[in-house]
């Protein structure tokens, strides 16, 4: 157990450190200076230089890097370059918005996938199954900025039953959830259907039936438990990428999440903000990966710790 913890922390340290370094240098390669973005194109050159100096951006890059790392190590995410406000509260707020959307879409997709996947597997080869599989392929293949925009026009403007933008409580959550969730559900349901079909041919299912268990018990307790395993990895990846902020969906629905924050930060050359976002998300990513490993073990004792 201790070894597992050590491995986890080593991984955490490595990934966070690596990501910081990469993003730190990559950003400084982007043409355009934050001074232009903050002070405006018509500000005096001397003021731009003064501003850069005031923010420590006139030092050699390596020195800036050391400064940044030192601060980060002390748990200080720094301040936004654009307006000098502390980053941490902003990040927490945006992360919650993203978390809300991510968890809703995830649960929605999971439930939808279970329903469609199990149906498809049990009625495999039927007309409905074929229809569902074509539908799910279509859903995988449609870009979210098109489905999202369509949903927006149909449900928010034309039918006027949902709000147009995010941040308006529960009802504003539904359209982005459905947009994101249905694309994910399509993928998961296909995986699930496939693995369920394989499981159905196993001996223990036949045994379970012959014990006189009901269909529901057999499918849910026995088949699903085993079939879910291969889907778990996919689900983990999906959750992780959802938490990273679904840039496009957030833009379409004006959702105040991390994805749109990062785009804004990149465009304004707010080095500190971009770095902070990426570091925090990398941190979350590694933790999530560890959790998924554990969950996988719970489902399948055969998977051991490497």
Enumerate residues 123-152 that contact other proteins by CB under 8 A: 134, 137-138, 140-146, 149-150, 152
Give the up-direction half-sphere exposure of residue 204: CA atoms within 13 A in the CB hemisphere.
12
Among 7, 26, 66, 295, binds other proteins (CB under 8 A): 26
| Minimum distance, C-beta of residue 1 to other proteins, in the bound complex (Å) | 22
Per-position x/- string for 183-222, each x denoting binding to other proteins as judged by CB under 8 A, each - no binding: --------------------------------xx--xx--
Q: Is 241 in the site for other proteins (CB under 8 A)?
A: yes
Among 153, 204, 298, 305, binds other proteins (CB under 8 A): 153
Question: Of 66, 107, 294, 303, which one interacts with other proteins (CB under 8 A)?
Answer: 107
For other proteins, which is the closer residue by CB, 119 or 299? Answer: 119
Q: Does 292 bind other proteins (CB under 8 A)?
A: no
Binding residues among 30-59 for other proteins as defined by CB under 8 A = 30-33, 36-45, 47-48, 50-51, 54-55
Nearest distance in Å: CB 73, other proteins: 18
287 binds other proteins (CB under 8 A): no
Residue among 1 and 170 whose Cβ is closer to other proteins: 170
User: Which string of x and - marks every residue 80-99 that binds other proteins (by CB under 8 A)?
Assistant: --xxxx--------------
């Amino acid at each position: 157990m201790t070894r597992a913890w050590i491995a986890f922390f080593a991984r955490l340290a490595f990934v966070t450190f690596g990501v910081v370094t990469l993003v730190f240098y990559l950003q400084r390669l982007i043409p355009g200076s934050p001074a232009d973005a903050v002070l405006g194109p018509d500000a005096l050159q001397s003021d731009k230089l003064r501003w850069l100096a005031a923010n420590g951006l006139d030092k050699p890059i390596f020195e800036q890097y050391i400064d940044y790392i030192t601060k980060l190590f002390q748990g200080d995410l720094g301040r936004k370059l654009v307006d000098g406000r502390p980053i941490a509260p902003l990040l927490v707020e945006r992360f919650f918005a993203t978390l809300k959307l991510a968890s809703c879409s995830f649960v929605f997709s999971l439930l939808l996938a279970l329903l469609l996947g199990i149906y498809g597997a049990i009625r495999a080869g039927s007309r409905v199954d074929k229809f569902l599989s074509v539908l799910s392929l279509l859903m995988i293949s449609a870009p979210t900025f098109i489905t999202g925009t369509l949903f927006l026009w149909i449900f928010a403007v034309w039918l006027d039953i949902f709000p147009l933008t995010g941040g308006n409580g529960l009802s504003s959550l539904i359209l982005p959830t459905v947009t994101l969730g249905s694309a994910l559900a399509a993928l998961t349901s296909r995986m699930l259907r496939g693995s369920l079909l394989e499981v159905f041919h196993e001996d223990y299912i036949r045994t379970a039936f012959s014990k006189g268990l009901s269909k529901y018990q057999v499918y849910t307790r026995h088949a699903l438990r085993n079939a879910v395993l291969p889907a778990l990895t996919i689900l983990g990846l999906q959750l992780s990428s959802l938490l990273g902020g679904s840039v496009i969906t957030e833009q379409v629905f004006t959702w105040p999440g991390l994805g749109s924050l990062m785009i804004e930060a990149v465009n304004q050359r707010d080095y500190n903000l971009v770095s902070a976002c990426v570091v925090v998300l990398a941190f979350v990513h590694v933790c999530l990966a560890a959790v998924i490993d554990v969950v996988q073990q719970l489902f399948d004792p055969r998977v051991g710790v490497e």
